[in-house]
Amino acid sequence: MIDTNRRARRLRERPPAGVVALALLAIVFFALPFLGLLWKVPWSDVGRVLGKSEVRTALWLSIRTSVASALLAGFFGIPLAWLLARTNFPGRNFVRALCTMSMVLPPVVGGVALFFSFGRRGLFGQYLDQWFSFQLTFTVWGVIVAQTFVAMPFLVLTVEAAIRQADARYEDAARTLGATRSYVFRRITLPAIRPALLAGFVLAWARALGEFGATITFAGNFPGTTQTISIATFLALETDQRDALVLSVVMIATSFAVLLGLRDRWMGRTDGVGY
Amino acid sequence: MVLHGHVVVERNRFTLDASISVRAGETLAVLGPNGAGKTTLLRALAGLVPISAGSIELDGALLDDPDHDVFIVPERRPIGFVFQDYLLFPDMSVVENVAFGPRARGTNHEQALARASELLEWVGLGDHAEKRPDAISGGQAQRVALARAMAVSPRLLLLDEPLAALDVTTRRSVRSDLSRLLAGVDSARILVTHDPRDARALADRLMIIENGRVVQSGSFDDIAANPATPYVHELLGDFS
Amino acid sequence: MLALVAACGGDDGDGTTELNVLAATSLTDAFGAIEQAFETANPGVNVTMSFGGSSTLATQIQNGAPADVFASADEKNMDLITDLLFGDSSVFTTNELQIMVAPGNPRDIRSLADLTRTDVIVITAQPGVPIRTYTDDVLANAGVVANFRSFEANVGGIVTKITGGAADAGIVYRTDVIAAGSKAQGVRIPLDQNLVAQYPIGVLAASTNRRAADAFVAFVNGPGQSLLASYGFGDG
């Protein structure tokens, strides 16, 4: 008894050296690119670049559209995750692959696919044009559609995994007490997976914020309507690298702050098992 | 006869095939070794597992009958369920747990809380209402689970190993508390256990299943006197 | 370091010469044909083409991309890397500017002035891209302020959005209109308002295959001219 305790303590104090070495290399691998970027940033230009009205416009557009995309991803993605986790229907794996494909697709390809389906002459977009004289391309709605398209899988996979891990017997207990499946979903399932929900929302939001390939291909690029901070950063790389570097740092700082805050504030204790 | 059922459930090489009847006001204990199909039987009665053949009838109403395409979903069956481990909702206080059933069935918040408070008084936990489930003992959790199941006034109460999660020292007193409480319940009761002492203390009648089949049923003393299988002999031999 | 340079260009052991050519997107089809013809005429040379927006390519060259020849769609982007050239660049072909519209011209766009109409969705490229520079110059010549709805990353983005039906009009190269075939048509811009896009080509000082690079440039200026013409370049 004493022996095992002592052994356990020693293991905790000294993790295997090989594992630590590889983990350290991984950390360096992630840290170096950011150091490389920070090293190149023209710090004296930060004020000038952030003072530009087009930069502020792009930043504000990005904030609005990425939050809207994350909310949309949740509105449709949480029910989808539940369906994938808690029901067993033929072709479920096919549906999961279909609904998460945009995650691995080159974003530009996703943008082209959206263009041919929701564009003005697209498979469905043509009816939007015929019936409502409306097209998504060149509008803020197009940006939100493109961002939701690439961001939702991150939420779906996170939430599906959490629902799978949640003890389904609590849902059974609730049903025997007279709760319908949708009541169980709202009162039992959702509260049980709250940490994963938040993680899913933040992942989807971060992906939406960083997205530009699908967005510019599907929605275009115009200040105030479709030019997000990511698109502005990407395009600035070719015309004004100094601006691009400053914008990159702004995006890194924002994402880093959110990911850091997520861990500490919302995910509960970080030293426990799981989330 | 409150409950009359012929429950057939087929799953991965295992088949449960048991006929079961319970009268109003009666407690039936279902005994058997691990994996005999006891819990599956309760889950089928509650509608958490659909039966593949047979039928389940409660108070003359058909709940499940695959031959006639009848299946009443769990939330519409007048059945209460006390689960093994009790499964109190961890995000809710004790009183919210008990009020969950009435709330789910559309009772307004105040009335549901009032009903829950009454039931907590009944199980002797009136002053624990605002505690979280992780702040009460196993025996108290079991009584909360009982109060929660009774809050929807079920015609049939199912108890799955209600004493298995408790340690040996508290078991005897919790068992006598439960016995006293169940005496005040007017629903029919089915108690699943693997412990013959539970069955003797709490049940009017016993049913023993092995490998998904009913091997013997009757009063405790009759079965103890004439065990039908080596398992029953082993189980009840000390009591004869 | 030496091995890296050798791998990026120069003679391989088996005697073939690798030649890296960076060329403007609008040259994609024509230079594809020229590559084949050049390789047939010079069996010892293997040409690798890399197409992109001229400004993108200029940025890559500035950042040290291994390249032997650069063909730009405008003088401006060639000027950006003039210090990195071996010798001077020279104009090897020209391209006419046209207004690209949907087949059958459903919006009835006849002149640059129509690009100010609010019922017409007009798009162009972002600043810095040659087609944008030309577009701004042409519109300034005509005294027209177009009502743009999007600034695409390059001329390909303009073409895709018009052939895909999202946008109604945009100024592109005549070669783009020809390449789009039945999916688009061109509206000519009057000569007094139009200007001619100049395509310069140059050999990079960093090239390790200067002879092959010179031969390629000479080929483009010689036998390549008829191939360019067949794709709509030049005076046509």
By DSSP bridging, strand B213-218 and strand B205-210 are: antiparallel
- Asked whether B206 and B44 are in contact (CB, 8 A), the reply is no
Question: In sequence order, which residues have a C-beta less than 8 Å from that of residue C159 and are 6 or more positions away?
Answer: C100, C172, C176, C180, C184
CATH class of A53-266: mainly alpha
Place of tokens 């590889």: A22
SS3 A176: helix
Residue C65: phi, psi to the nearest 5? -60, 135
Between A266 and A115, the more confident residue is A115
C165 min Cα distance to partner chain A (Å): 5
Question: In sequence order, which residues have a C-beta less than 8 Å from that of residue C198 and are 6 or more positions away?
Answer: C74, C75, C91, C94
Contact flag A138-C167 (C-beta cutoff 8 Å):
yes
A216 interfacial to chain C (CB closer than 8 Å): yes
A44 min Cα distance to partner chain C (Å): 22
CB contacts of A112 in chain C (<8 Å) are: 160
Which of B76, B83, B149 minimises the CB distance to A169? B83
C156 min Cα distance to partner chain A (Å): 10
All CATH 3.40.190.10 domain ranges in chain C, comma separated: 2-94+198-235, 96-196
Contact flag A222-C160 (C-beta cutoff 8 Å):
no
- DSSP class of A41: -
Q: Please tell me which chains touch A, using 3 or more CB pairs under 8 Å as the contact test.
A: B, C
Instruction: Work out the end-to-end distance of chain A between its first and last CA atoms, rounded to an integer number of angstroms.
Output: 30
Contact flag A177-B104 (C-beta cutoff 8 Å):
yes
Instruction: At A145, list the tokens.
Output: 């559609």
Contact flag B83-A173 (C-beta cutoff 8 Å):
yes
Domain boundaries, chain A: 53-266
Contact flag A119-C153 (C-beta cutoff 8 Å):
no
Instruction: Give the pLDDT band of residue A12 (cuts 50, 70, 90).
Output: low
Instruction: At C63, list the tokens.
Output: 């950042």
**Cα–Cα distances in Å, from A237 out to A215, A232, A233, A241, A255?**
17, 9, 6, 5, 20
Which of A170, A180, A187 minimises the CB distance to B87? A170
Contact flag C160-A239 (C-beta cutoff 8 Å):
no
Contact flag A115-C166 (C-beta cutoff 8 Å):
yes
Mean of pLDDT over chain C? 89
Instruction: At C82, list the tokens.
Output: 């003039």
- Asked whether A72 and A148 are in contact (CB, 8 A), the reply is yes
Average pLDDT over residues C59-80: 92
Residue C198: phi, psi to the nearest 5? -100, 125
A195 interfacial to chain C (CB closer than 8 Å): no
CB contacts of A167 in chain B (<8 Å) are: 87
Which of A112, A216, A239 minimises the CB distance to C127? A239
Question: In sequence order, which residues have a C-beta less than 8 Å from that of residue C116 and are 6 or more positions away?
Answer: C144, C145, C146, C147
CATH class of C2-94+198-235: alpha beta
Block mean pLDDT (10 aa), chain B, length 240: 91 91 93 92 96 94 94 95 94 96 94 95 93 93 94 94 86 88 88 91 94 94 92 83
Average pLDDT over residues C79-89: 91
Highest mean pLDDT, choosing among A17-21, A172-176, A240-244 = A172-176
Q: Which residue of A has its CA nearest to B47?
A: A176
pLDDT for the residue numbered C4: 34
SS3 A195: helix
- CA B9, distance to chain mean position in Å, is 18
Q: How far apart are CA C34 and CA C221, in angstroms?
A: 11
- pLDDT (tens digit per residue) in C180-223: 999 999 999 998 899 899 999 999 999 988 999 999 999 999 99
> In a 10 Å sphere around its CB, with 0-12 CB exposed, 13-18 middle and 19+ buried, how is residue C11 labelled?
middle
Beta bridge partner(s), residue A58: none
Residue A125 CB neighbours (<10 A): 24
Instruction: At B72, list the tokens.
Output: 């009443």
pLDDT for the residue numbered A260: 81
Site from C161, C162, C168, C183 to mutate, A interface, most A CB atoms within 10 angstroms: C161
Q: Which residue of C has its CA nearest to A212?
A: C153
A177 min Cα distance to partner chain B (Å): 5
Site from B73, B75, B105, B155 to mutate, A interface, most A CB atoms within 10 angstroms: B75
Q: Which residue of B has its CA nearest to A169?
A: B87
Site from C22, C120, C149 to mutate, A interface, most A CB atoms within 10 angstroms: C149
CB contacts of A174 in chain B (<8 Å) are: 89, 100, 104
Contact flag A238-C166 (C-beta cutoff 8 Å):
no
By DSSP bridging, strand C17-24 and strand C10-11 are: antiparallel
Q: How far apart are CA A80 and CA A96, in angstroms?
A: 9
Question: In sequence order, which residues have a C-beta less than 8 Å from that of residue A19 and are 6 or more positions away?
Answer: none
Q: How far apart are CA B118 and CA B114, in angstroms?
A: 6
% of chain A surpassing 70 pLDDT? 91
Instruction: At A220, list the tokens.
Output: 């275009």
- With touching defined as 3+ CB pairs under 8 A, do chains B and A touch? yes
Q: How many CB pairs under 8 A join A and C?
A: 64
C53 min Cα distance to partner chain A (Å): 9
Domain range C96-196, its CATH number among 3.40.190.10, 1.20.1740.10, 3.40.50.720, 3.30.920.30 = 3.40.190.10
CB contacts of C62 in chain A (<8 Å) are: none
**DSSP secondary structure string for all residues of chain C:** -HHHHHHHSEE-TTS-EEEEEEEEGGGHHHHHHHHHHHHHH-TTEEEEEEEE-HHHHHHHHHTT---SEEE-SSHHHHHHTGGGEEEEEEEEEEEEEEEEE-TT-TT---SGGGGG-TTS-EEEEPTTSHHHHHHHHHHHHHT----EEEEESSHHHHHHHHHTTS-SEEEEEHHHHHHHGGG-EEEEPPTTT--EEEEEEEEETT-S-HHHHHHHHHHHHTTHHHHHHHTT-S--
Q: How many CB pairs under 8 A join A and B?
A: 63
Mean of pLDDT over chain A? 88
Contact flag A176-B91 (C-beta cutoff 8 Å):
no
Closest by CA to A146, choosing from A223, A228, A202, A86, is A228
Which of B76, B89, B148 minimises the CB distance to A188? B89
- With touching defined as 3+ CB pairs under 8 A, do chains C and A touch? yes
- Asked whether C152 and C124 are in contact (CB, 8 A), the reply is yes
Q: Which residue of A has its CA nearest to B90?
A: A192
- pLDDT (tens digit per residue) in A79-135: 999 999 988 899 999 999 999 999 889 998 999 999 999 998 889 999 998 899 888
- Examine the pLDDT at A151 and tell me if it is beyond 50: yes
Query: What's A92-150 look like in SS3?
Result: HHHHHHHHHHHHHCCHHHHHHHHHHHHCCCCCCHHHHHHHHCCCCCCCHHHHHHHHHHH
The ipTM, to two decimals, is 0.92
Contact flag B149-A174 (C-beta cutoff 8 Å):
no
Q: Please tell me which chains touch C, using 3 or more CB pairs under 8 Å as the contact test.
A: A
Residue B86 CB neighbours (<10 A): 22
User: CA torsion A244→A248→A251→A254, rounded to 10°?
Assistant: -130
Q: How far apart are CA B26 and CA C116, in angstroms?
A: 88
- pLDDT (tens digit per residue) in A214-252: 999 999 999 999 999 999 998 888 778 888 899 888 888
User: CA torsion A199→A202→A204→A206, rounded to 10°?
Assistant: -140
Instruction: Give the pLDDT band of residue C129 (cuts 50, 70, 90).
Output: confident
- Angle at CA of residue B61, ends B56 and B64, nearest 5°: 35
Q: How far apart are CA B1 and CA B54, in angstroms?
A: 17
Contact flag A175-B100 (C-beta cutoff 8 Å):
no
Average pLDDT over residues A198-208: 92
Query: What's chain B look like in SS3?
Result: CCEEEEEEEEECCEEEEEEEEECCCCEEEEECCCCCCHHHHHHHHHCCCCCCEEEEEECCEEEEEHHHCEECCHHHCCEEEECCCCCCCCCCCHHHHHHHHHHHCCCCHHHHHHHHHHHHHHCCCHHHCCCCHHHCCHHHHHHHHHHHHHCCCCCEEEEECCCCCCCHHHHHHHHHHHHHHHHCCCCEEEEEECCHHHHHHHCCEEEEEECCEEEEEECHHHHHHCCCCHHHHHHHHHHC
- CA B126, distance to chain mean position in Å, is 23
What sections of chain A are H helices per DSSP? 2-13, 17-40, 46-51, 53-86, 92-104, 107-118, 125-132, 140-165, 168-176, 181-184, 190-192, 194-210, 213-219, 229-239, 241-261
C128 min Cα distance to partner chain A (Å): 6
Instruction: At C118, list the tokens.
Output: 């609010």
